[in-house]
Amino acid sequence: MEAEVVDFRVPVESNKTVLVWDIPPTHGEAHIHAQLHAVFSSFGPVYLLKVSPNAPLHPPGFYALIKFFSAAHAAAAQRITDGRPLLDDSPLKTQ
């Protein structure tokens, strides 16, 4: 196994960010935050996880922004979680 040295400073590169959308409004923000944190922190240290409601002109629901310290962790998280049912049975989109 190859180790990656991770610099623990504020990640500003876009390749360290994962966007999750199509989160259904079946649970509140706190529950969604806890569930997503459990999933995404398993890929590596998370700098930021923010859950927000969709814009008023979009269907009800949420989206989440997850920033990792490592681009490799973000890429793995995006690749493995895209289209998977992370909350209940609804497949979520990650980018």
Our measurement of the distance from residue 17's CA atom to the centroid of its chain's CA atoms, rounded to an integer in Å, reads 8
DSSP assignment of 49-94: EEEEEPPTTSPS-EEEEEEES-HHHHHHHHHHHTTS-SBTTB--EE
Closest CA to 88 of 32, 18, 19: 32
Closest CA to 74 of 32, 25, 12: 12
pLDDT given for residue 3 in this prediction = 66
Specify whether domain 14-82 bears CATH 3.40.190.10.
Answer: no
Tell me the three state secondary structure of residue 10. Answer: coil
Domain spans in the chain, listed from the N-terminal domain onward: 14-82
pLDDT digits (tens, 9 = 90+) for 23-79: 999 999 999 999 999 999 999 999 999 999 999 988 999 999 999 999 999 999 999
